[in-house]
Amino acid sequence: EIVLTQSPATLSLSPGERATLSCRASQSVSSFLAWYQQKPGQAPRLLIYDATNRATGIPARFSGSGSGTDFTLTISSLEPEDFAVYYCQQRSIWPPITFGQGTRLEIK
Amino acid sequence: EVHLVESGGGLVQPGGSLRLSCAASGFIFSNYDMNWVRQAPGKGLEWVSYISSASTIIHYADSVKGRFTISRDNAENSLFLQMDSLRAEDTAVYFCVRVVTPHSHDINLGYWGQGTLVTVSS
Does B85 score more than 90 pLDDT?
A: yes
The pLDDT of residue A32 is 96
Single out the residue of A68, A84, A69 nearest to residue A19, CA to CA. Answer: A84
Q: What is the pLDDT of residues B21-70, one digit of tens each?
A: 999 999 999 999 999 999 999 999 999 999 999 999 999 999 999 999 99
How far apart are the C-alpha atoms of A62 and A47, rounded to whole Å? 8
pLDDT of residue B106: 80
Which of B4-8, B102-106, B116-120 has the least mean pLDDT?
B102-106
Whether the link from the prior residue into A96 is cis, omega within 30° of 0, is: yes
The residue ranking higher by pLDDT, A85 or B104, is: A85
pLDDT at residue B30, rounded to an integer: 97
pLDDT grade for A10, boundaries at 50, 70 and 90? very high
How far does the CA of residue A52 sit from the closest CA of chain B (Å)?
13
Contact residues on chain A for B109, CB-CB shorter than 8 A:
34, 36, 44, 46, 89
Q: Are A89 and A99 in contact (CB under 8 A)?
A: yes
d(CA B9, CA B56): 26
* Interface residue B113 vs chain A (CB under 8 A): yes
Q: How many CB pairs under 8 A join A and B?
A: 59
For B4, nearest residue in chain A (alpha carbons): A43
Residues in a beta bridge with A79: none
| % of residues, chain B, pLDDT over 90 | 96
Average pLDDT over residues A15-21: 98
**Which tens digits make up the pLDDT trace of A30-68?**
999 999 999 999 999 999 999 999 999 999 999 999 999
With a cut of 80, say whether residue B105 has pLDDT above it: no
B4 falls in which pLDDT band (50, 70, 90)?
Answer: very high
Chain-chain contact of B47 with A98 (C-beta, under 8 angstroms):
yes
Contact B20, B36 (CB under 8 A): yes
Q: Using CB atoms, pick whichever of A44, A50, A91 lies closest to residue B112.
A: A44
**How near does any CA of chain A get to the CA of B109, in Å?**
7
Contact residues, chain B, for A10 at CB < 8 Å? none
By Cβ distance, the residue of A38, A95, A101 closest to B50 is: A95
Query: What is chain B's length?
Result: 122
Secondary structure of residue A97 in the 3-state scheme: coil
- Residues from chain A that touch B108, judged by Cβ atoms under 8 A, are 34, 46, 49-50, 55, 91
Q: What confidence score (pLDDT) does residue B23 get?
A: 98
Residue B107, pLDDT score: 87
In 3D space, the residue among A66, A34, A98, A46 whose CA is nearest the CA of residue B112 turns out to be A46
Q: How sure is the predictor about B9, in pLDDT bands with cuts at 50, 70 and 90?
A: very high
